[in-house]
Each structure stands twice: as structure tokens, then as C-alpha cells.
Amino acid sequence: MLEEGLWKTLGDLLKRYGVVDKFREQLVVVEWDMEAPPAARKARPLYVKDKILYLGVPSHALAQELHLQKEKIVKELRRRGYDIQDLRFSVMPPETPPVSVPLKIAITPDDETWARKALEGQELPPRLRDRMVALLAAARARERAMLAAGACKCRACGATYFGDGDICPICYVEKTDT
């Protein structure tokens, strides 16, 4: 019952801020492990933009193979209820292995203060506000722990990531697709 109320509140918030369609559009990325057509399981979903699903693949050969099966894959995704019109492939190295040292994430009072300020002016129910503060504070603490463990900040979008280069994998794909 409690979870149902939370989803109703989140649904109302998504509607209020006009992001329901954006949320639905990105759902294929979240559900890829369960919903990917067999031919495309080796691809890694990155994001959806303008009904185009961007996929990261580990090799040029796989990108070519998937390109040849693009119509079939799009048709299968549409049959499963996703509003995808096209696919774009970017050759990307495999994901970097997880950090060998566990991250030590410590949420400080400064993190909570920062999170409360970030939510100022938002009309949220008190319990949801408290949960959002906790979530934002944890995200900030996680970013700090990642940076301490050797992660980088993307010069284009500011996201924290583990890997080489000065831009994150998403910005890399966007830069190479333009």
C-alpha cells in the first residue's frame, strides 16, 4: 500500500512537470536486459532521443551485423510496446570493470543541507521531500567517493564516471553522432 502511494505521487509529479512521455521513452533503456530482442542482446542501450534508440556495441563487426537486422529489431521493439523508429550504433569499448576498492560513501550534514537547498521551492509532500533529500544527499556523497577513488568528471555534462578520457561515454556517443 505504501509503495502504491509513492508511485501515485511520483506519477503525479511526472505529469505535473510534463515528463511522463520522456520517462516512457527511456523505459526501453531500463528494461533492455529483459526486453532486448535476441539479435541485439550484446548491444548496450545508452538512451533514446527523438524515437531513436542509441546502442553501444563492442565492435564494428557487431555494429554492421545489427545494422543489417535493424528493421527486424525495431519491429520487435515496437511489437513489445516501445515507440522506437530507428536505431543508431556506436562502437564503444566494453564497460570498465568495477572499482576493485569498495567505495566508502559517507553522507555528511553538508550533503543534507545542500539537498534541502536544491529542493527549495518544490511543492512536495513532507515524506516525499525527506526521501528526495536522502536520495540527493546520497548521490552527492557517492560522487565524492567516486572522485576520491579515481573517477573523472565529464567536461561536457559534469557527470562522474570511471574510465579514460575527459568526456563520459554518453557525451562521447553524442559527439561522434553529430
Question: Where do the domains of the chain lie?
Answer: 2-91, 109-177
Look at residues 80, 5, 1 and name the one whose alpha carbon lies nearest to residue 36: 80
Q: What's the pLDDT score for residue 137?
A: 93
* 80: helix, strand or coil: coil
Give the pLDDT of the chain (178 residues) as one tens digit per residue: 455 665 666 667 667 766 667 777 777 887 888 888 888 888 889 989 999 999 998 888 888 999 999 999 999 999 988 889 999 998 886 665 555 667 888 999 999 999 999 888 888 888 888 999 999 999 999 999 999 888 889 998 988 988 878 888 778 777 765 5
CA 118 to chain centre: 21
- Size of the chain in residues: 178
Q: What's the pLDDT score for residue 5?
A: 62
What CATH number belongs to 2-91?
3.30.300
Contact in structure between 107 and 135 (CB atoms under 8 Å) = no
Q: What's the pLDDT score for residue 53?
A: 93
Non-local CB neighbours of 27 within 8 Å, separated by 6+ positions: 82
All three cell numbers of 54, joined, read 542509441
Q: Is the pTM of this model over 0.75?
A: no
Q: What's the pLDDT score for residue 8?
A: 67
Q: What's the pLDDT score for residue 176?
A: 66
Classify residue 121 by burial, with Cβ atoms within 10 Å: 0-12, 13-18, 19+: exposed
